[in-house]
Structure formats: structure tokens, C-alpha cells
Amino acid sequence: MSRSTERSAGSALSRRAALGAAGGLGLLGVTGIAGTSQASTADGPGTHPATGPRPPVGEATGRLYEIRAGRHAVVVAGVAATLLSWKVDGEERLLTHEPHSVGDSYQGKTIVPWPNRIDRGHYTFDGAEYQVPVNEPERNTALHGLVNWVEWEPVEHSRDRVVLDYQLHPQYGYPFRLGLRMEYAVSARGIRARLTATNLGRARAPFGAAFHPYFQLGSETIDDMRVRLPADAYYTVDDRLLPTGIAEVDGTGMDFRVPRELGTTELDTAYTRLLREADGTAVTRLSRRGGPTIELWVDENYRYLQVYTDDGPPPGRAGRAGITVEPMTCAPDAFNSGDGLVLLDPGAEFHGSWGLRSA
């Protein structure tokens, strides 16, 4: 299949430019995070951080929490409540990095209080204008929220579950106070992740969330990966990856409603109008012929998926080594457009879940 010509939906520029080459990328191997996480369970994880043994600490990723059930072994990092490793029958399913590295492109991070980009870092809310830091200067945008480099605190850690909390205090550009809780639980079926956000302040707050898992299926490239994306429409974008409109996927290279091989199609694309199963979830499927299948499901509070095909890798790493499918609660630049923006009244809560399965 030829390279997609839908260039309004993607970009040849790296989404990692905001990070540069910081930290360097080391892919997690059998002796990488596995060796580290085993140290945390030599005596078994504690059921509460006050009573259990202290987990090991990654230089860049904070405390590490291993949870497991059946075929699934998971490592969660405290910094950004990151899904750092997901092994099925001992094989890594994530394109990830070692705990001493910051990685690249926000791999596995929990992203709040906005996903994707805010144009110029500027927005107006309830009659007031706000300016958040621009951390993607080449596009003049504010990318992926405010909690990418903070450590969340443990509330509970058992063999198959970890719960982490973080309180986001008011600051310039986002003068709202949020209580955040992230729960990862693993069972024989896979991973379930649940985010709760509570407005602890006195004024209503704009809110959005995303998660940034990167997937690989044991191949050096994603070109032979079969992809099924449950979406009827996608956002066209300008050269700064800001939305310019919504287009139907019918008759375009963006249509993956029927599973097909990715080939050389390049995506840095937000999808919407998700197709739902009978239980209300939208399910993305990734597979390789003769290999494993991954399913990412999102509940009804995640109405958007950002898909990126790893076409702008950092120096020293080949591109198209993984694909990210990001559950998002709102559209790119939602703080300006209002498209999918969650409005949290004082005391109100947001709850949203997503999960991973492997066959």
C-alpha cells in the first residue's frame, strides 16, 4: 500500500520535539524492567504503602509497582502514573524505556488536565484569559498537560492492583485544584485502568485526560501490523497539528473500520465518532499475521482516539517501531474549541476507564 496522501491528518515532524533527545531511549528487555520489578516483590508487595516494603525507584520514573495475574505482568511507575511495562507470557507488548530514562513521546504516561495541544498555550474560560507554558515551541503549542514529570503517591499496592494519587494545585494559567486518582488492576483477562478527577476548588474547572500507551508486537516495524480502528471520522489539521475540521473516513486512507495492514500509512491523527460494542466500549485491535492480538477498549467517557505511527523517532532509534493509540476524553485544542471538554463543578468528579487485552 502506498503512503497515505491524507497529509492534513499527520505530519512528518516528530511529536517528540518537545522532549528533544533528553534521556536517550533504552527499550525494555527481559532483564530490564523485569529485573528491577522482581526486587519489589521478593517479599511480596505490601497491601498499603505504610505497611508494605518500599518499592524500588527508577532514576527518572520514580517508584515502581509490579502487579500481575495469570499471563500478565505489569509495571507502573510513579512519575505520571505511567504504564511502563506490560508483558504477556513474558513478552513485552509496549514500546517503552528503562526506568533510568525519561523515554520519548510521553510513553505510557497519564496526561491531565488537557490532552494533545492548546494553541499558543492560550485559552479563555468563564470570561477570563489564561496562558499556560508553551512546551512545543516549534509549533507554539502547549502539549499534554501539567503532570508529566510529577510523582503520584501510593494509596494501595497489592499483588494485582495499584492505586496512585496526585493533587494538582492552582498555578499560573490553570488556577484550579484537582484531586487525581489512578488505579491499575490486572486480571486473567488483562489490564483495567480507571482515572478519577475531583474538583477540590471553589470554581468550575476545564478538564481533559488522555493516556499514551505505545504498542509493539515483536516486529522491528509496524508496517505489517493489522489495524482495526472503530471510528467514522477524523480531524483534519494544519501544519501545527491543530484541528481545522472533521472529515469522514469513507474513501480515505484513514479508514480502518475493517481490519487491514498498516503498510506505510503515516498517522498522527485524532479519530472521533467512535463505534461502540453492545457493552458501550469502543475496541481497537492490533495484530500481526501468525502473531499476537492486542485489544484496547475505552468506555463511553473516552470519545476520541489519537493514533500515531512513530514516524519521527529520536536520534539513534529507527522509526515505526511502535504505534500509539491514545484514549482521549476531548479533542485536540478543546480548551479553545470546547469539543468534548469536561466541565467540573466544585466537588464534581470525572470517572473514566480503559483497558488492554491480549490474545
- 35-50 pLDDT, tens per residue? 333 333 333 444 445 4
Partners of residue 15 on adjacent β-strands: none
2 in a structural domain: no
pLDDT recorded at residue 49: 53
Q: Is residue 354 part of a domain?
A: yes
- Residue span of the structural domain in which 322 resides: 7-358
Q: Domain of 349: which CATH number?
A: 2.70.98.10
Judged against a pLDDT cut of 50, whether residue 22 lies above it is answered with no
- Pairwise pLDDT comparison (28 vs 85), residue with the higher score: 85
Spatial contact of 110 and 211, defined as CB atoms under 8 Å apart: yes
Tens of pLDDT, residues 104-120: 889 999 999 999 999 99
pLDDT at 13: 44
pLDDT, residue 52, reads 57
Q: What is the pLDDT of residue 314?
A: 87
Question: 3-class DSSP state for residue 127?
Answer: coil
Whether residue 28 has pLDDT greater than 70: no
pLDDT band with cut points at 50, 70 and 90 for residue 343: very high
Is pLDDT at 217 greater than 80 in this prediction? Answer: yes
- Residue 33: pLDDT above 60? no
- Asked if residue 313 has pLDDT above 80, the reply is yes
The per-residue pLDDT for 53 is 66
Number of H helices, E strands in the chain: 2, 28
pLDDT computed for residue 109 by the predictor: 97
User: What is the spatial distance between Cα 257 and Cα 229, in angstroms, rounded to a whole number?
Assistant: 5
Mean pLDDT of 179-193: 98
Domain annotation covers residue 301: yes
Q: How many CA atoms lie within 13 A of 341 on its CB side?
A: 20
Query: Cα 284 to chain center, whole Å?
Result: 14
Q: How far apart are CA 86 and CA 90, in angstroms?
A: 9
Lookup result for grid cell 526486587: 39
Helix residue spans in 77-234 (DSSP H)? none
pLDDT tens-digit series, residues 219-234: 899 999 999 999 999 9
Domain count, the chain: 1
Task: Give residue 316's pLDDT.
Answer: 86
Residue 32 pLDDT exceeds 80: no
In a domain, 1, yes or no: no
> What is the pLDDT averaged over residues 214-218?
93
Q: Which residue has the higher pLDDT, 243 or 32?
A: 243
Using DSSP bridges, classify how beta strands 190-199 and 178-187 pair: parallel, antiparallel or unpaired: antiparallel
How large a percentage of the chain has pLDDT more than 70?
A: 85
C-alpha cell at 122: 492560550
Within 13 A of 319's CA, how many CA atoms are on the CB side?
A: 16
Report the Cα–Cα distance between both ends of the chain, in Å, rounded: 27
pLDDT at res. 15: 46
The phi, psi pair for 288, rounded to 5°, reads: -130, 145
Q: Which helix (H) or strand (E) holds 210?
A: strand 210-211
State yes or no: pLDDT of 330 exceeds 90.
yes
Q: What average pLDDT does the segment 116-127 reach?
A: 98
What is the tens place of the pLDDT at every residue in 319-328? 999 999 999 9
Mean pLDDT confidence for 151-168? 98
Q: Give me the amino acid identity at 185.
A: A
**Quick one: cell of 285?**
485491535
